[in-house]
């Protein structure tokens, strides 16, 4: 058994390894490698993908294979000598997330659904009225929502937790499912939804 949950070579946009990461930048077919301080160390052009891997070329014309199934990055011609062992990989990140479900300790289920083409989300709670939330921001890991300034919510796809913060309490719930778009999908016409988790 290989691979990472919810990720294939066709959908991956972010790869973590012990001393850095590889991610798509939002520019078509462009990947970058960053060290653990977040400094850019290399740029790659994506040449191809299949279910198992993304194939990229670096600035020197060297071909590398990002093998999401084998969980290794290696020179295409040297699969036996991995450059990096992947520790995690993601298709959806905070930039692409459109849907999440979570579970409360009592066993109830809540859902967040982004309204198409709006910066608005519908929040269905297990034991309260449905409300609409405003999206206030996104980053690599999270979507940030608020309800008229009373409640702020962070849906964190990295820690797989939803944090609900009210003026006098804060609660965390485990994310149980997610959907979104590949996080390089700025031009929505090219975007196919991806199932997460």
Ligand X SMILES: *[C@@H]1O[C@H](CO)[C@@H](O)[C@H](O)[C@H]1NC(C)=O
Residues that bind ligand X (CB under 6 A): 82, 84-85
Smallest distance, ligand X to C-beta of residue 41, A: 15
Smallest distance, ligand X to C-beta of residue 83, A: 6
The whole-angstrom separation of Cα 70 and Cα 79 is 10
Smallest distance, ligand X to C-beta of residue 186, A: 32
The whole-angstrom separation of Cα 30 and Cα 22 is 10
Q: Which of 47, 44, 49 is nearest to 21 (CA)?
A: 44
Nearer to ligand X (CB atom), residue 84 or residue 144: 84
Nearer to ligand X (CB atom), residue 82 or residue 193: 82
Smallest distance, ligand X to C-beta of residue 43, A: 20
Smallest distance, ligand X to C-beta of residue 8, A: 21
Nearer to ligand X (CB atom), residue 87 or residue 136: 87
The whole-angstrom separation of Cα 84 and Cα 74 is 7
Residues contacting residue 118 through CB under 8 Å, at least 6 positions apart:
none
Place of tokens 């590889």: 22
Nearer to ligand X (CB atom), residue 17 or residue 144: 17
The whole-angstrom separation of Cα 106 and Cα 75 is 49
Nearer to ligand X (CB atom), residue 11 or residue 71: 71
Instruction: Locate 60 and state its tokens.
Output: 């020197």
* Residue in the shown chain whose Cβ atom is closest to ligand X: 85
């Amino acid at each position: 058994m290989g691979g990472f949950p919810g990720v294939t070579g066709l959908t991956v946009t972010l790869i973590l390894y012990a001393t850095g990461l590889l991610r798509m930048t939002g520019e078509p077919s462009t990947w970058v490698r960053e060290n653990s301080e977040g400094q850019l160390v290399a740029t790659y052009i994506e040449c191809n993908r299949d279910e198992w891997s993304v194939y990229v070329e670096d600035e020197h014309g060297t071909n590398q294979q990002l093998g999401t199934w084998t969980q290794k990055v290696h020179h295409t011609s040297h699969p036996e000598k991995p450059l990096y062992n992947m520790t995690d990989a993601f298709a959806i990140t905070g930039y692409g997330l459109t849907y999440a479900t979570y579970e409360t300790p009592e066993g109830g289920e809540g859902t967040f659904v982004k309204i198409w083409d709006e910066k608005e989300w519908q929040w269905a709670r297990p034991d309260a009225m449905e409300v609409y939330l405003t999206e206030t921001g996104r980053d690599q890991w999270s979507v940030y929502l608020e309800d008229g300034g009373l409640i702020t919510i962070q849906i964190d796809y990295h820690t797989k937790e939803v944090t609900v913060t009210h003026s006098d309490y804060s609660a965390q719930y485990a994310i149980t499912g997610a959907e979104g778009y590949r996080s390089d999908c700025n031009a929505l016409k090219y975007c196919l939804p991806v199932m997460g988790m």
